Structure 1
Amino acid sequence: MADDLPCCETKFFLYVLIVIGLVTFAGLMAGLTLGLMSLGLVDLEVLSKSGRPQDRNHASKILPVVKNQHLLLCTLLIGNSLAMESLPIFLDKLVPPWAAVLMSVTLILVFGEILPQAICTRYGLTVGATLAPFVQLLLWAFSPIAYPISKVLDWMLGKGHSALLRRAELKTFVDFHGNEAGKGGDLTHDETTIIAGALELTEKTAKDAMTPILKAFSIDLDRTLNLETLNAIMTMGHSRVPVYYRNPNNIIGIILVKNLLAVDPDDSVPLRKMLIRKIPRVAENMPLYDILNEFQKGHSHIAVVYKDLNETKETMQKTKDIDNLAIKSISHDVDTTFSKADADQVTKKSPPSTPAFKKKHRGCSFCILDLENSPIPEYPPNQEVVGVISMEDVIEELLQEEILDETDEYVNIHNRIKINMNASQEKAPESNSIQFSSIPPASADSGPPLVRSVSTPTGQ
């Protein structure tokens, strides 16, 4: 009772200090419960490795404490409960019972819950790092009670359930950090676009980025390199040109335009006498990441996209992962598909004598077509060529923007006009407008650029 303890004596002030200590301890437990438990393990690991120097120091101190989250939660709640339950007992010795209840509720609510949690929510990292040694001491002191309870929680709810963002959530998270979102982020538009493109690239396949075969420029193997043919190749502005045999869909290889520099148009050299490289073949459902990894090996920067006519939609879904693992190397797959005997002959035999303009190949020998000693490869009847894909197509999907080269002719499908990059650049000093010209009819030997998709450029 209140009259059991006279005022202004030593014991009275001792009880007052105990009450203040219990309120402070309860406030620390409540604040640390909210502050430390709100810090995810992933967030702390990110801060400890790539945060500011002060944040790295704080995160490294907090990580050992929050590593076992259930043990930390049990310890803090036990300490908070002990303080709140003990407070009315000591207040009852100082004030009447009704005042003890009123004061305990008020003190716990204001100084033990609201104020500590508000501070720890704002400065949780700093407060948690400062009190980390004290929390470690509590973990050891309350371990006989908290440890068994934490093990039961681990068994019931699982241990170490750190929240990782899914792909779509991560993309939205990056958008929020862009400076265009108006939330204080410092990522530029190009940075957020490239990150979003990299996240979306795993869901895109060769069919999404390829150039349809009807719009791809290619040249017949039986043609001669006269002035007309060379002009057609140079006009397109490609560094590599697909070569087909008889049927435009039967693309057997590619020729590097730089190898044509030494060709004299008056000699009318047959194209089959030139150095023709094998072209890889990929399925239309092959992920772009796998295609990009194969392009990085350097065997080829262009691949033919085919469609399996015998493959149903149900089979495609079931065997998608198996196909991705089976096509480990495009170059070896092409070599096996075209002709296994072709590879054996090329690796075992030395190449025959070639004209002076047919430069010696510096790379792998199995990447070159041996038209003199091996049959011309043909596609199986169950495979239909639907397009071609280049490394530039994959990079454009990654950047989510068109890459316009100096010789590109970019088609605006809405106005049915064609933008010539050379004409635009020459006209730019004289006028701010872009020079347009009408689209000429496509001929049998030429077509739209290989890697230009038919769309509207940004800002046009």
Structure 2
Amino acid sequence: MNLPLLRALALPFSTPISIFEEDEGASPDDPQLWLYLGIALILVLLGGVFAGLTIALMGQDEVYLEVIHDSGEEKEKKHAGSVLRLLKRGKHWVLVTLLLSNVITNETLPIILDRSLGGGWPAVVGSTALIVIFGEVIPQSICVRYGLQIGSYLSPVVLGLMYIMSPLAWPTAKLLDYLLGEDHGTIYKKAGLKTLVSLHMSLGKSPGERLNEDEVTIITAVLDLKAKSVRSIMTPIEDVFIMSSDTVLDEKMVDKILQAGYSRIPIHAPDNPRNFIGMLLVRMLITYDPEDAQRVCDLALATLPETAPETSCLDIINFFQEGKSHMVVVSDSPGDQAGALGVVTLEDVIEELIGEEIVDESDVYVDNQRSVRRTLNAPVIIEAPEIAAIQAGSESKPTPVIAGSEVETSNQIFAKPRRTSTGFSQRAAQGIKHLGPSNPANKPSTTKYTNIKIKPGREHHHEGENGGQHANGGEAGEDTPLLGRANES
């Protein structure tokens, strides 16, 4: 009477035991045996392909593929393009499709083996061994090394499976995109990029692929350029060669300027050494005669912009590219008449750009930060032995020679007549009173960089010989900002 109930209670305990009971499989003479074994072999191969493609495609970084597609070899470009087009359709869609295909294959294999080998432990052990060895380990090991090539060749197959399984795979992929977000590849921060560049110095396959120390230094310096302020690279104002606008440019002062070796000299107001009104370009003194003894303000002065100490070096180098000035004053209050802390030149920014100090033949300081003086100063003009006068009855001034230089001075450079100390010469050459129209400093306009300030020009009204007229016949008017006084008649 209670036998059916007892049999029902014993049924769950008899099921696990039946797994290890070996049933009689198909006879070797049965054609279905070989059919089932062939299907099992195909399922093992398909499972291996799906498992390998999961590693091959999901292990690819889209940023890395973009790099290969743009700068790799022809075959690499082709493979990267195929994989990129597939992943652009949705990385989660590809992942769900491959996982579903792999699960279907692996779950079908034990059923086929049960039909061919019979039930029990032979089917369980056989399917497990085939799946682990030939469906997981070997395919994934191969695809880890040749994932890009295999993924490229089989991308049409994967695309077809994506559309076949789209009723289930596409909604699941969209749900993953919503929950986890779309993957757009690995984007490195600057610190990671510097580490990556440093690793390429030692991990390259060949010397041609490895970066040398100078390349690593320059790349890392460029990455730090935006975060570095001009305060950290400026030359303190105490170490800057500056001049007052009322300084008389006599022979002694011109020699001092030449010995200093600078190409640009900041000019400040006579009553305030922290209020800079312009910049003297030393090359303008080529045609200047020191015996004229003119003041600095009588010459044309280029603009000298000002900026705050927090301005980045990247903004400064972008400003220098505008061509308005290659020197900037660092000031606590840019645009005001005080607060100058130091100066920054194009050379200073380039030194930070390449990460190394640039030392030319006229540098007074090797390092602006540590103020290490050079053992040799700038070239000094010395007097060469007197040469017999070419013109009869005249005396010529000794030819200037640059100490330590073998370059001979050409007489054609100073073609304009000059006045000598003996008074024998034609009219002396005058200093340049204006900047050329091609010079951006001739018409300094407001720069597009808001952290760079250009002081407004001062008004200098004067009268010429013809009742308030300039020498060229025009009316006297306001000077160009920071270009100095106009040529007085």
Correspondence 1:98-117 to 2 at 5 A? 98-117=121-140
2:261 and 2:364 in contact (8 A); partners too: no
Correspondence 1:57-456 to 2 at 5 A? 57-67=78-88, 68-96=90-118, 97-178=120-201, 180=202, 185-246=209-270, 247-308=272-333, 337=335, 379-380=336-337, 384-410=339-365, 418-420=374-376
Partner Cα distance (1:82, 1:107) in 2: 15
Partner Cα distance (2:197, 2:36) in 1: 54
User: In the superposition, relative to structure 1, how do residues 31 and 156 fare at CA in structure 2: closer, same or farther (>3 Å)?
Assistant: same
1:88 and 1:101 in contact (8 A); partners too: yes
List runs of 5+ in structure 1 lacking aligned partners: 309-333, 338-378, 428-460
CA deviation profile, 1:373-428 (whole Å, cap 9, x unmatched)? xxxxxx34xx51111001111111110101111112345899976332779xx99x
Which TM-score applies when normalising by structure 2? Answer: 0.69
Q: CA deviation at 1:4?
A: 4.6
1:226 and 1:267 in contact (8 A); partners too: yes
2:234 and 2:330 in contact (8 A); partners too: yes
User: In the superposition, relative to structure 1, how do residues 130 and 84 fare at CA in structure 2: closer, same or farther (>3 Å)?
Assistant: same
Partner Cα distance (2:101, 2:190) in 1: 40
**Matching residue's letter, 2:100:** I
User: In the superposition, relative to structure 1, how do residues 135 and 298 fare at CA in structure 2: closer, same or farther (>3 Å)?
Assistant: same
Q: Give the SS at the match of 2:342.
A: strand
Q: Give the SS at the match of 2:375.
A: strand
User: In the superposition, relative to structure 1, how do residues 418 and 404 fare at CA in structure 2: closer, same or farther (>3 Å)?
Assistant: closer
Correspondence 1:7-26 to 2 at 5 A? 7-26=28-47
Partner Cα distance (1:167, 1:140) in 2: 40
CA deviation profile, 1:39-83 (whole Å, cap 9, x unmatched)? 011111111111111100001111121121100000000011011
User: In the superposition, relative to structure 1, how do residues 416 and 156 fare at CA in structure 2: closer, same or farther (>3 Å)?
Assistant: closer
Which TM-score applies when normalising by structure 1? Answer: 0.73
Partner of 1:441: none
1:211 and 1:387 in contact (8 A); partners too: yes
1:243 and 1:251 in contact (8 A); partners too: yes
Q: CA deviation at 1:182?
A: 6.5
User: In the superposition, relative to structure 1, how do residues 248 and 183 fare at CA in structure 2: closer, same or farther (>3 Å)?
Assistant: farther
**Matching residue's letter, 2:374:** K
- Higher relative contact order structure (alpha carbons within 8 Å, sequence separation ≥ 6): 1
Partner of 1:358: none
Count of residue pairs brought into register by the alignment? 355
Over the aligned positions, Cα root-mean-square deviation in angstroms equals 2.3
List runs of 5+ in structure 2 lacking aligned partners: 1-21, 380-402, 405-489
2:52 and 2:143 in contact (8 A); partners too: yes
User: In the superposition, relative to structure 1, how do residues 9 and 105 fare at CA in structure 2: closer, same or farther (>3 Å)?
Assistant: same
**Matching residue's letter, 1:228:** K
2:94 and 2:162 in contact (8 A); partners too: yes
Partner of 1:344: none
CA deviation profile, 1:240-271 (whole Å, cap 9, x unmatched)? 11111123222211011111111111121111
**Matching residue's letter, 1:256:** L
2:48 and 2:136 in contact (8 A); partners too: yes
Does residue 40 of the first structure (1) align with residue 61 of the second (2)? Answer: yes
Partner Cα distance (1:126, 1:262) in 2: 70
CA deviation profile, 1:192-236 (whole Å, cap 9, x unmatched)? 211111100010111111111111111111111111111111112
Q: Give the SS at the match of 2:186.
A: coil
Q: Which has the higher helix share?
A: 1
User: In the superposition, relative to structure 1, how do residues 296 and 36 fare at CA in structure 2: closer, same or farther (>3 Å)?
Assistant: same
**Matching residue's letter, 2:276:** I
Partner of 2:392: none
Partner of 2:387: none
Q: CA deviation at 1:176?
A: 1.0
Does residue 6 of the first structure (1) align with residue 27 of the second (2)? Answer: yes
